[in-house]
Amino acid sequence: MLNATHDPRLKSWVESANDGVTDFPIQNLPFASAKKSSDKGECSIVTAIGDQILPLAPIAALNVASTPLSQEALECCKEPEMNKLMALTPAHWSALRTDISRWLQVGSETQPALQSLLYSQNEAQFKRPCQIGDYTDFYASIHHATAVGRLFRPDNPLLPNYKWVPIGYHGRASSIDVSGQQFHRPKGQTKAPDATEPSFGPCKRLDYELEVGFFIGQNNELGEPLTMEEAEQRLFGLCLLNDWSARDIQAWEYQPLGPFLAKSFASTISPWVITAEALAPFRAPFVREQGEPEPMPHLDSEYNQQYGAIDMELTCSIEAADVPLTQLSQSNFKDAYWSVAQMITHHASNGCNLMAGDLMGSGTQSGPTPEQAGSLLELTQGGKKPIAFENGQQRTFLNDGDSIIMTGYCKREGYVRIGFGEVRSTILPAKP
Protein backbone atom coordinates (compact mmCIF):
# COMPACT_ATOMS: atom_id res chain seq x y z
CA MET A 1 0.00 0.00 0.00
CA LEU A 2 2.87 2.39 0.75
CA ASN A 3 4.95 4.05 -1.95
CA ALA A 4 7.25 7.02 -2.49
CA THR A 5 4.41 9.53 -2.09
CA HIS A 6 4.16 8.68 1.62
CA ASP A 7 7.84 9.41 2.35
CA PRO A 8 7.88 11.74 5.39
CA ARG A 9 11.08 13.35 4.09
CA LEU A 10 9.34 14.82 1.04
CA LYS A 11 9.13 18.62 0.92
CA SER A 12 7.31 20.85 -1.53
CA TRP A 13 8.43 24.03 -3.24
CA VAL A 14 5.12 25.43 -1.94
CA GLU A 15 6.42 26.55 1.45
CA SER A 16 3.07 26.45 3.28
CA ALA A 17 2.95 22.70 2.68
CA ASN A 18 6.01 22.20 4.91
CA ASP A 19 4.88 23.97 8.10
CA GLY A 20 3.94 20.79 9.97
CA VAL A 21 0.41 21.94 10.80
CA THR A 22 -1.29 22.17 7.40
CA ASP A 23 -3.93 19.60 6.50
CA PHE A 24 -2.44 19.47 3.02
CA PRO A 25 1.26 18.57 2.98
CA ILE A 26 2.72 16.97 -0.14
CA GLN A 27 1.90 13.55 1.38
CA ASN A 28 -1.86 14.28 1.10
CA LEU A 29 -2.76 15.62 -2.40
CA PRO A 30 -6.57 15.40 -2.23
CA PHE A 31 -9.01 16.18 -5.05
CA ALA A 32 -11.85 18.71 -5.23
CA SER A 33 -13.94 20.52 -7.82
CA ALA A 34 -13.20 24.25 -7.62
CA LYS A 35 -12.36 27.47 -9.39
CA LYS A 36 -11.02 30.85 -8.43
CA SER A 37 -13.95 32.96 -7.25
CA SER A 38 -13.16 35.69 -9.76
CA ASP A 39 -13.20 33.26 -12.70
CA LYS A 40 -16.35 33.14 -14.80
CA GLY A 41 -15.80 29.65 -16.21
CA GLU A 42 -16.71 26.26 -14.83
CA CYS A 43 -14.99 24.46 -11.99
CA SER A 44 -12.44 21.78 -12.76
CA ILE A 45 -10.55 19.18 -10.74
CA VAL A 46 -7.88 20.58 -8.44
CA THR A 47 -5.54 19.45 -5.69
CA ALA A 48 -4.49 21.16 -2.48
CA ILE A 49 -0.92 21.86 -1.46
CA GLY A 50 -0.44 23.79 1.77
CA ASP A 51 -2.73 26.82 1.66
CA GLN A 52 -2.73 26.82 -2.14
CA ILE A 53 -4.80 25.18 -4.86
CA LEU A 54 -3.31 23.70 -8.02
CA PRO A 55 -5.71 23.29 -10.98
CA LEU A 56 -4.93 20.04 -12.80
CA ALA A 57 -6.71 20.69 -16.11
CA PRO A 58 -4.06 23.09 -17.55
CA ILE A 59 -1.29 20.59 -16.79
CA ALA A 60 -2.76 18.10 -19.28
CA ALA A 61 -1.35 20.18 -22.16
CA LEU A 62 2.17 20.46 -20.70
CA ASN A 63 3.31 16.95 -21.64
CA VAL A 64 4.70 16.27 -18.15
CA ALA A 65 2.80 13.08 -17.28
CA SER A 66 5.21 10.20 -16.84
CA THR A 67 2.87 7.41 -17.99
CA PRO A 68 -0.15 6.97 -20.28
CA LEU A 69 -2.24 6.09 -17.20
CA SER A 70 -1.35 9.39 -15.56
CA GLN A 71 -2.11 11.34 -18.73
CA GLU A 72 -5.47 9.60 -19.11
CA ALA A 73 -6.36 10.50 -15.53
CA LEU A 74 -5.14 14.04 -16.07
CA GLU A 75 -7.43 14.45 -19.09
CA CYS A 76 -10.38 13.57 -16.82
CA CYS A 77 -9.45 16.51 -14.60
CA LYS A 78 -10.68 18.91 -17.27
CA GLU A 79 -14.22 17.94 -16.29
CA PRO A 80 -16.17 20.04 -13.76
CA GLU A 81 -16.82 16.88 -11.72
CA MET A 82 -14.64 13.87 -11.02
CA ASN A 83 -16.98 11.03 -12.04
CA LYS A 84 -14.81 10.15 -15.05
CA LEU A 85 -11.71 10.17 -12.87
CA MET A 86 -13.46 8.00 -10.30
CA ALA A 87 -14.52 5.52 -12.98
CA LEU A 88 -10.87 4.77 -13.86
CA THR A 89 -8.80 2.12 -12.12
CA PRO A 90 -6.73 2.41 -8.93
CA ALA A 91 -3.67 2.20 -11.15
CA HIS A 92 -4.77 5.41 -12.91
CA TRP A 93 -5.41 7.20 -9.61
CA SER A 94 -2.05 6.14 -8.23
CA ALA A 95 -0.16 7.11 -11.39
CA LEU A 96 -1.63 10.62 -11.33
CA ARG A 97 -1.00 11.05 -7.62
CA THR A 98 2.61 9.93 -8.08
CA ASP A 99 3.12 12.51 -10.80
CA ILE A 100 1.49 15.31 -8.78
CA SER A 101 3.86 14.47 -5.93
CA ARG A 102 6.82 14.59 -8.31
CA TRP A 103 5.73 17.91 -9.82
CA LEU A 104 5.35 19.57 -6.41
CA GLN A 105 8.57 18.30 -4.81
CA VAL A 106 11.47 20.60 -4.06
CA GLY A 107 13.73 20.72 -7.11
CA SER A 108 11.04 19.73 -9.60
CA GLU A 109 11.64 20.92 -13.16
CA THR A 110 7.92 21.66 -13.48
CA GLN A 111 7.94 24.35 -10.77
CA PRO A 112 8.17 27.34 -13.17
CA ALA A 113 5.24 26.08 -15.26
CA LEU A 114 3.03 25.21 -12.30
CA GLN A 115 3.78 28.11 -9.99
CA SER A 116 1.74 30.54 -12.06
CA LEU A 117 -1.32 28.25 -11.82
CA LEU A 118 -1.56 28.36 -8.03
CA TYR A 119 -4.16 30.38 -6.15
CA SER A 120 -5.05 30.67 -2.48
CA GLN A 121 -7.64 28.40 -0.91
CA ASN A 122 -9.22 31.59 0.45
CA GLU A 123 -10.01 32.57 -3.15
CA ALA A 124 -11.64 29.26 -4.03
CA GLN A 125 -15.24 28.54 -4.89
CA PHE A 126 -16.07 24.86 -4.43
CA LYS A 127 -18.86 22.67 -5.73
CA ARG A 128 -19.81 19.07 -5.06
CA PRO A 129 -16.85 16.94 -6.15
CA CYS A 130 -18.98 14.74 -8.39
CA GLN A 131 -22.48 13.95 -9.53
CA ILE A 132 -23.76 11.86 -6.64
CA GLY A 133 -26.13 9.41 -8.24
CA ASP A 134 -27.01 7.57 -5.05
CA TYR A 135 -26.42 8.06 -1.35
CA THR A 136 -26.56 5.38 1.33
CA ASP A 137 -26.10 6.07 5.03
CA PHE A 138 -24.94 3.32 7.38
CA TYR A 139 -25.09 2.90 11.15
CA ALA A 140 -21.53 1.68 11.71
CA SER A 141 -20.81 2.96 15.23
CA ILE A 142 -21.89 0.47 17.88
CA HIS A 143 -21.36 3.15 20.51
CA HIS A 144 -23.84 5.46 18.77
CA ALA A 145 -26.31 2.64 18.12
CA THR A 146 -26.15 1.56 21.77
CA ALA A 147 -26.48 5.09 23.18
CA VAL A 148 -29.47 5.93 20.98
CA GLY A 149 -31.06 2.52 21.50
CA ARG A 150 -30.76 2.96 25.24
CA LEU A 151 -32.86 6.14 25.06
CA PHE A 152 -35.79 4.17 23.66
CA ARG A 153 -35.10 0.57 24.74
CA PRO A 154 -33.10 0.74 28.01
CA ASP A 155 -33.16 -3.02 28.52
CA ASN A 156 -32.36 -3.98 24.92
CA PRO A 157 -30.60 -1.09 23.13
CA LEU A 158 -29.20 -3.10 20.19
CA LEU A 159 -31.52 -4.90 17.83
CA PRO A 160 -30.64 -8.56 17.09
CA ASN A 161 -29.30 -7.96 13.58
CA TYR A 162 -26.84 -5.17 14.44
CA LYS A 163 -23.77 -7.34 15.03
CA TRP A 164 -24.36 -9.43 11.91
CA VAL A 165 -25.22 -7.00 9.14
CA PRO A 166 -24.13 -3.42 8.34
CA ILE A 167 -27.39 -1.51 8.76
CA GLY A 168 -28.09 1.25 6.24
CA TYR A 169 -30.83 3.19 4.50
CA HIS A 170 -31.13 4.85 1.11
CA GLY A 171 -30.73 8.63 1.51
CA ARG A 172 -31.38 11.66 -0.65
CA ALA A 173 -28.54 12.69 -3.00
CA SER A 174 -30.04 15.93 -4.35
CA SER A 175 -29.83 17.82 -1.03
CA ILE A 176 -26.12 17.09 -0.45
CA ASP A 177 -23.90 20.17 -0.76
CA VAL A 178 -20.35 21.19 0.13
CA SER A 179 -19.00 23.09 3.10
CA GLY A 180 -20.53 26.55 3.37
CA GLN A 181 -24.03 25.20 2.85
CA GLN A 182 -26.81 27.24 4.44
CA PHE A 183 -30.23 25.68 4.71
CA HIS A 184 -33.59 26.58 6.18
CA ARG A 185 -34.84 24.77 9.24
CA PRO A 186 -37.06 22.00 7.90
CA LYS A 187 -40.77 21.77 8.52
CA GLY A 188 -42.55 18.52 9.06
CA GLN A 189 -45.16 16.52 10.84
CA THR A 190 -44.53 15.74 14.52
CA LYS A 191 -46.53 14.42 17.42
CA ALA A 192 -46.01 15.51 21.01
CA PRO A 193 -46.26 12.70 23.59
CA ASP A 194 -49.33 14.26 25.20
CA ALA A 195 -51.06 15.18 21.93
CA THR A 196 -53.97 13.23 20.47
CA GLU A 197 -52.94 13.97 16.88
CA PRO A 198 -49.86 15.27 15.03
CA SER A 199 -49.15 18.85 13.97
CA PHE A 200 -47.15 20.45 11.17
CA GLY A 201 -44.48 23.10 11.65
CA PRO A 202 -40.76 23.87 11.99
CA CYS A 203 -38.53 21.21 13.49
CA LYS A 204 -37.82 21.84 17.18
CA ARG A 205 -35.10 19.20 17.67
CA LEU A 206 -32.59 19.84 14.91
CA ASP A 207 -29.37 17.87 15.27
CA TYR A 208 -26.07 17.21 13.51
CA GLU A 209 -24.39 13.87 12.89
CA LEU A 210 -20.59 13.59 12.80
CA GLU A 211 -19.87 11.15 10.00
CA VAL A 212 -17.29 9.99 7.48
CA GLY A 213 -18.31 9.84 3.83
CA PHE A 214 -16.70 7.60 1.24
CA PHE A 215 -16.94 7.73 -2.54
CA ILE A 216 -17.20 4.77 -4.88
CA GLY A 217 -14.83 4.54 -7.83
CA GLN A 218 -15.33 1.89 -10.49
CA ASN A 219 -18.80 0.50 -11.22
CA ASN A 220 -19.83 -3.09 -10.68
CA GLU A 221 -22.35 -4.64 -13.04
CA LEU A 222 -25.92 -5.24 -11.92
CA GLY A 223 -26.12 -8.73 -10.45
CA GLU A 224 -22.39 -8.91 -9.70
CA PRO A 225 -21.57 -8.88 -5.97
CA LEU A 226 -18.17 -7.69 -4.75
CA THR A 227 -15.60 -9.48 -2.65
CA MET A 228 -13.88 -7.65 0.17
CA GLU A 229 -10.81 -7.24 -2.01
CA GLU A 230 -12.88 -5.82 -4.87
CA ALA A 231 -14.60 -3.45 -2.46
CA GLU A 232 -11.22 -2.02 -1.44
CA GLN A 233 -10.43 -1.45 -5.11
CA ARG A 234 -13.65 0.55 -5.50
CA LEU A 235 -12.86 2.94 -2.64
CA PHE A 236 -11.85 6.22 -4.29
CA GLY A 237 -11.58 8.36 -1.18
CA LEU A 238 -13.06 9.78 2.00
CA CYS A 239 -14.57 13.08 3.10
CA LEU A 240 -16.24 14.56 6.17
CA LEU A 241 -20.02 14.37 6.32
CA ASN A 242 -22.62 16.14 8.45
CA ASP A 243 -25.85 14.23 7.96
CA TRP A 244 -28.37 16.60 9.55
CA SER A 245 -31.34 15.13 11.41
CA ALA A 246 -34.71 16.49 12.47
CA ARG A 247 -35.16 14.32 15.54
CA ASP A 248 -38.79 15.19 16.27
CA ILE A 249 -39.85 14.57 12.67
CA GLN A 250 -37.81 11.36 12.67
CA ALA A 251 -39.44 10.06 15.85
CA TRP A 252 -42.91 10.31 14.32
CA GLU A 253 -42.18 9.07 10.80
CA TYR A 254 -39.51 6.38 11.10
CA GLN A 255 -41.74 3.44 12.02
CA PRO A 256 -42.00 1.13 10.16
CA LEU A 257 -39.79 2.09 7.21
CA GLY A 258 -37.03 4.22 8.76
CA PRO A 259 -35.67 7.72 7.96
CA PHE A 260 -37.35 9.85 5.30
CA LEU A 261 -38.09 13.60 5.52
CA ALA A 262 -36.17 13.89 8.78
CA LYS A 263 -32.96 13.27 6.83
CA SER A 264 -33.57 14.49 3.28
CA PHE A 265 -33.54 18.29 3.76
CA ALA A 266 -29.73 18.73 3.90
CA SER A 267 -26.44 16.86 4.16
CA THR A 268 -23.09 18.68 4.03
CA ILE A 269 -19.74 17.27 2.90
CA SER A 270 -16.23 18.67 2.95
CA PRO A 271 -15.06 19.70 -0.53
CA TRP A 272 -11.80 17.72 -0.38
CA VAL A 273 -11.77 14.00 -1.16
CA ILE A 274 -8.79 12.37 0.53
CA THR A 275 -7.72 9.43 -1.61
CA ALA A 276 -7.60 5.89 -0.30
CA GLU A 277 -3.91 5.81 -1.24
CA ALA A 278 -3.11 8.89 0.88
CA LEU A 279 -4.73 7.14 3.86
CA ALA A 280 -2.63 3.98 3.56
CA PRO A 281 -0.22 4.87 6.41
CA PHE A 282 -3.14 5.32 8.77
CA ARG A 283 -4.76 1.94 8.30
CA ALA A 284 -5.09 -0.09 11.48
CA PRO A 285 -6.14 -3.63 12.41
CA PHE A 286 -9.88 -4.22 12.35
CA VAL A 287 -10.58 -6.08 15.56
CA ARG A 288 -13.61 -6.70 17.72
CA GLU A 289 -13.75 -7.22 21.44
CA GLN A 290 -13.63 -10.76 22.72
CA GLY A 291 -17.05 -12.37 22.73
CA GLU A 292 -18.32 -10.41 19.73
CA PRO A 293 -19.44 -12.52 16.74
CA GLU A 294 -16.96 -12.86 13.90
CA PRO A 295 -18.07 -11.32 10.59
CA MET A 296 -19.66 -13.74 8.15
CA PRO A 297 -17.15 -15.14 5.60
CA HIS A 298 -18.17 -12.80 2.76
CA LEU A 299 -17.58 -9.82 5.11
CA ASP A 300 -14.15 -10.98 6.25
CA SER A 301 -10.64 -11.11 4.80
CA GLU A 302 -7.09 -11.28 6.06
CA TYR A 303 -6.45 -7.81 4.65
CA ASN A 304 -9.46 -6.40 6.50
CA GLN A 305 -8.29 -7.97 9.74
CA GLN A 306 -4.87 -6.33 9.36
CA TYR A 307 -5.75 -2.99 7.73
CA GLY A 308 -9.54 -2.58 7.66
CA ALA A 309 -9.79 0.26 10.21
CA ILE A 310 -8.76 3.87 9.55
CA ASP A 311 -7.21 5.83 12.42
CA MET A 312 -8.94 9.16 11.82
CA GLU A 313 -9.62 11.71 14.54
CA LEU A 314 -12.93 13.55 14.18
CA THR A 315 -14.03 16.73 15.92
CA CYS A 316 -17.27 18.69 15.99
CA SER A 317 -17.63 22.31 17.12
CA ILE A 318 -20.38 24.93 17.30
CA GLU A 319 -20.26 28.68 16.65
CA ALA A 320 -23.06 31.24 16.84
CA ALA A 321 -23.76 34.87 17.73
CA ASP A 322 -24.33 33.85 21.34
CA VAL A 323 -21.78 31.00 21.50
CA PRO A 324 -18.05 31.37 20.73
CA LEU A 325 -16.37 28.61 18.77
CA THR A 326 -16.57 25.63 21.12
CA GLN A 327 -15.69 21.99 20.59
CA LEU A 328 -18.60 19.67 21.33
CA SER A 329 -17.00 16.27 20.91
CA GLN A 330 -14.10 14.25 19.51
CA SER A 331 -14.11 10.64 18.34
CA ASN A 332 -12.14 8.29 16.09
CA PHE A 333 -13.26 6.42 12.99
CA LYS A 334 -11.22 3.35 13.99
CA ASP A 335 -13.87 2.65 16.65
CA ALA A 336 -16.46 1.84 13.96
CA TYR A 337 -18.03 -1.61 14.26
CA TRP A 338 -18.00 -2.12 10.49
CA SER A 339 -15.15 -1.28 8.12
CA VAL A 340 -15.51 0.67 4.90
CA ALA A 341 -14.86 -2.46 2.83
CA GLN A 342 -17.51 -4.39 4.77
CA MET A 343 -20.09 -1.68 4.13
CA ILE A 344 -19.30 -1.60 0.40
CA THR A 345 -19.29 -5.40 0.15
CA HIS A 346 -22.59 -5.69 1.97
CA HIS A 347 -24.17 -3.02 -0.24
CA ALA A 348 -23.30 -5.04 -3.35
CA SER A 349 -23.91 -8.48 -1.83
CA ASN A 350 -27.36 -8.74 -3.40
CA GLY A 351 -26.01 -7.71 -6.82
CA CYS A 352 -26.71 -4.00 -6.37
CA ASN A 353 -24.76 -2.06 -9.00
CA LEU A 354 -22.69 0.69 -7.38
CA MET A 355 -21.70 3.59 -9.62
CA ALA A 356 -18.69 5.90 -9.78
CA GLY A 357 -19.57 8.91 -7.65
CA ASP A 358 -21.97 7.13 -5.31
CA LEU A 359 -21.59 8.40 -1.76
CA MET A 360 -21.88 6.31 1.38
CA GLY A 361 -21.97 7.60 4.93
CA SER A 362 -20.63 5.81 7.97
CA GLY A 363 -23.43 6.88 10.24
CA THR A 364 -22.76 8.95 13.36
CA GLN A 365 -19.28 8.20 14.69
CA SER A 366 -19.33 8.12 18.47
CA GLY A 367 -16.67 6.81 20.81
CA PRO A 368 -16.96 4.58 23.87
CA THR A 369 -17.25 7.46 26.37
CA PRO A 370 -20.17 9.91 26.66
CA GLU A 371 -18.09 12.96 25.70
CA GLN A 372 -17.20 11.24 22.42
CA ALA A 373 -20.80 11.25 21.22
CA GLY A 374 -21.24 12.41 17.63
CA SER A 375 -24.68 14.02 17.99
CA LEU A 376 -26.63 16.23 20.37
CA LEU A 377 -29.18 13.46 20.78
CA GLU A 378 -26.52 11.54 22.69
CA LEU A 379 -24.69 14.46 24.32
CA THR A 380 -27.91 15.80 25.87
CA GLN A 381 -29.46 12.36 26.48
CA GLY A 382 -32.38 13.06 24.23
CA GLY A 383 -32.66 16.71 25.28
CA LYS A 384 -32.85 15.97 29.02
CA LYS A 385 -29.44 17.43 29.91
CA PRO A 386 -28.61 20.70 28.08
CA ILE A 387 -25.03 21.53 27.18
CA ALA A 388 -23.88 24.61 29.12
CA PHE A 389 -21.25 26.90 27.54
CA GLU A 390 -18.77 29.09 29.41
CA ASN A 391 -20.78 32.25 28.73
CA GLY A 392 -23.93 30.78 30.28
CA GLN A 393 -25.71 29.89 27.04
CA GLN A 394 -27.18 26.42 26.60
CA ARG A 395 -28.23 24.03 23.87
CA THR A 396 -30.28 20.88 23.86
CA PHE A 397 -30.75 20.98 20.10
CA LEU A 398 -29.69 23.56 17.53
CA ASN A 399 -30.94 27.14 17.14
CA ASP A 400 -31.30 29.21 13.98
CA GLY A 401 -27.97 30.87 13.20
CA ASP A 402 -25.89 28.05 14.66
CA SER A 403 -22.93 26.91 12.58
CA ILE A 404 -21.55 23.40 12.98
CA ILE A 405 -17.91 22.84 12.05
CA MET A 406 -16.41 19.38 11.65
CA THR A 407 -12.76 18.54 11.09
CA GLY A 408 -10.75 15.37 10.68
CA TYR A 409 -7.11 14.38 10.51
CA CYS A 410 -4.87 11.32 10.51
CA LYS A 411 -1.66 11.19 12.50
CA ARG A 412 0.82 8.39 13.12
CA GLU A 413 4.40 8.32 14.35
CA GLY A 414 6.82 8.07 11.46
CA TYR A 415 4.46 9.69 8.94
CA VAL A 416 3.32 13.20 8.12
CA ARG A 417 -0.04 14.28 9.51
CA ILE A 418 -2.72 14.82 6.86
CA GLY A 419 -6.14 16.42 7.25
CA PHE A 420 -9.53 16.74 5.62
CA GLY A 421 -10.06 20.50 5.89
CA GLU A 422 -13.44 21.31 7.40
CA VAL A 423 -17.11 21.01 6.71
CA ARG A 424 -19.07 24.03 7.95
CA SER A 425 -22.77 24.72 7.58
CA THR A 426 -25.29 27.13 9.06
CA ILE A 427 -28.96 26.87 9.96
CA LEU A 428 -31.35 29.53 8.65
CA PRO A 429 -34.86 30.16 10.01
CA ALA A 430 -37.69 28.06 8.61
CA LYS A 431 -39.41 29.56 5.59
CA PRO A 432 -42.87 31.02 6.25
Q: What is the pLDDT of residues 340-373, one digit of tens each?
A: 999 999 999 999 999 999 999 999 999 999 999 9
313 and 166 in a common domain: yes
Give me the pLDDT at residue 52, please: 98
Question: 395 in helix, strand or coil?
Answer: strand
* 310 touches 410 (CB < 8 A): yes
311 and 359 in a common domain: yes
36 and 176 in a common domain: no
Q: How many structural domains are present in the chain?
A: 2
208 and 156 in a common domain: yes
Query: Residue 88: pLDDT above 90?
Result: yes
Query: Residue 136: pLDDT above 90?
Result: yes
* Active site (annotated) includes residue 144: yes
190 and 83 in a common domain: no
Question: Average pLDDT in the 102-114 region?
Answer: 97
> Domain residues for 106?
4-127
Question: Average pLDDT in the 233-239 region?
Answer: 98
159 and 78 in a common domain: no
Catalytic: which of 6, 144, 346, 347? 144
> What is the CATH number for 89?
2.30.30.230
What is the spatial distance between Cα 227 and Cα 232, in angstroms, rounded to a whole number?
9
Give me the pLDDT at residue 273, please: 98
What is the spatial distance between Cα 309 and Cα 247, in angstroms, rounded to a whole number?
29
Q: Could you report the per-residue pLDDT of 284-305, keeping only the tens digit for each?
A: 999 998 999 999 999 999 999 9
Query: Residue 426: pLDDT above 90?
Result: yes
Give me the pLDDT at residue 293, please: 95
179 and 117 in a common domain: no
Please identify, among 95, 127, 159, the residue that sits at the C-terminal boundary of a domain. 127
57 and 84 in a common domain: yes
Give me the pLDDT at residue 152, please: 87
More confident residue, 156 or 33: 33
* 93 touches 236 (CB < 8 A): yes
- 191 band by pLDDT with thresholds 50, 70 and 90: very high
Question: Average pLDDT in the 242-263 region?
Answer: 95
What is the spatial distance between Cα 184 and Cα 367, in angstroms, rounded to a whole number?
30
415 and 279 in a common domain: yes
108 and 158 in a common domain: no
Give me the pLDDT at residue 1, please: 83
